[in-house]
């Protein structure tokens, strides 16, 4: 199976009432862990790479690793998504490489830190939609900003998504999926206490979904930061501070109200780092990277399987035949013609 359109994955998820995890990668072991988890749970999946990941891995290495993934796991529908594209040219380069989905994060300026004006966000997002849809590629946009900074992205400020403005944004840009800001943050240190309605505004999702029932919503910064993973890191020499992530129950509530894509990165990092620290501490005489990368890969796979099951995507890998990007482009063209 070739890489598939993320729009198809999200459309099918909406029909089935489940969410699809979008997991960040930087290397081969992470891709392997995700694909093994997808096979074990029979899940469709979104693999995403940030600008930092593309630089670290190198685009050509990343592309060929993904080609190996779809060749070795032909039964798994998988979309390759650009996470937090900072300007149209970044999205264009991903589309030309073969990404089947891109995010134009126009909520921030190209530096990835400065909060952008609303009209700037509309303009750059619409520009990306026009170029992407002509190739059958899915587009995710963002309205509002998350807290925290991860992989060089983030203003450090939280600006919650305005539900009324969200309607205008979707109508004017034509995006396939909308990332909403509800108080979550990038990174491991999301909340200083267990989140409740005062810090995690799930009511925004419910309101936006009522206004935009046919728009796929996206939750960024949705790692749960499991205490047991942090404890492993600290037990073997780490010094992570106490923190709370997004409870699985809150993510599941979002899925019930239009959330179809859930971004998870920190949980993977925690699992990998804990496993590596443990292996090195218990066997200080070992020097073969495979010795600690194998348990690291297995630890990440376990977390991925848990998330795929919790999000409801497990068991849905064989539900549908993949739609090629050429056909998706024709569908987009037909939608544009109908509107005009």
Q: Are 313 and 319 in contact (CB under 8 A)?
A: no
- For residue range 148-205, what is the model confidence (pLDDT) as tens digits? 556 655 546 678 999 999 999 999 999 999 999 998 776 776 676 777 666 788 999 9
> What is the average pLDDT across 103-113?
93
Neighbours of 293 (CB within 10 A): 18
Give the model's pLDDT for residue 339: 67
111 catalytic? Reply is: no
pLDDT > 90? residue 217: yes
Both structure tokens of 296: 């690291």
List the alpha helices (DSSP H) in the chain: 6-16, 28-41, 51-57, 59-72, 88-97, 118-133, 163-173, 202-211, 227-235, 248-256, 266-282, 289-311, 325-339
Check 11, 83, 176, 267 and give the catalytic one: 83
> What is the average pLDDT across 4-24?
98
The percentage of the chain sitting over the pLDDT mark of 70, rounded to a whole number, equals 93
Domain ranges of the chain: 6-331
Q: What is the mean pLDDT of the chain?
A: 93
* Residue, of 199 and 209, whose pLDDT is higher: 209
Distance CA 47, CA 295 (A): 21
Class of domain 6-331: alpha beta
Q: Which position has the token pair 């780092």?
A: 273
CB within 8 A of 131, min separation 6: which ones? Answer: 88, 91, 92, 95
> Residue 70: which pLDDT band, with cuts at 50, 70 and 90?
very high
Give the model's pLDDT for residue 11: 98
pLDDT > 80? residue 206: yes
* Residue, of 159 and 274, whose pLDDT is higher: 274
Give the model's pLDDT for residue 269: 97
CB within 8 A of 84, min separation 6: which ones? Answer: 50, 51, 103, 105, 112, 151, 153
């Amino acid at each position: 199976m070739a890489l598939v359109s993320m729009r198809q994955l999200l459309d099918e998820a909406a029909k089935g009432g489940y969410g699809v995890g979008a997991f960040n990668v930087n290397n081969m072991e992470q891709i392997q862990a995700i694909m093994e988890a997808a096979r074990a749970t029979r899940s469709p999946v979104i693999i995403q790479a940030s600008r930092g990941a593309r630089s670290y891995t190198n685009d050509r290495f990343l592309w060929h690793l993904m080609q190996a993934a779809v060749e070795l796991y032909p039964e798994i529908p998988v979309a390759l998504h650009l996470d937090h594209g900072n300007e149209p040219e970044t999205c264009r380069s991903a589309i030309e490489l073969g990404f089947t989905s891109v995010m134009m994060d126009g909520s921030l300026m190209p530096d990835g830190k400065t909060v952008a004006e609303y009209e700037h966000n509309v303009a750059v997002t619409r520009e990306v939609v026009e170029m992407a849809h002509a190739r059958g590629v899915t587009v995710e946009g963002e309205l509002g900003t998350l807290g925290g900074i991860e992989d060089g992205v983030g203003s450090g400020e939280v600006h919650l998504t305005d539900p009324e403005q969200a309607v205008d944004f979707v109508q004017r840009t034509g995006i396939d999926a909308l990332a909403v800001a509800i108080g979550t943050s990038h990174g491991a240190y999301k909340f200083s206490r267990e989140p409740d309605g005062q810090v995690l505004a799930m009511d925004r999702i419910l309101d936006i979904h009522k206004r935009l029932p046919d728009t796929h919503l996206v939750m960024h910064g949705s790692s749960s930061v499991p205490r047991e993973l942090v404890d492993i890191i600290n037990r073997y020499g780490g010094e992570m501070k106490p923190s709370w992530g997004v409870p699985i129950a809150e993510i599941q509530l979002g899925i019930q109200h239009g959330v179809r894509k859930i971004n998870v990165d920190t949980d993977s990092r925690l699992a990998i780092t804990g496993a590596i620290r443990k292996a090195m501490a218990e066997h200080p005489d070992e020097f073969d990277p495979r010795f600690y990368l194998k348990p690291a890969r297995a630890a990440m796979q376990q977390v991925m399987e848990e998330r795929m099951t919790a999000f409801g995507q497990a068991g849905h890998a064989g539900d549908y035949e993949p739609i090629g990007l050429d056909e998706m482009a024709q569908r987009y063209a037909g939608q544009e013609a109908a509107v005009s």
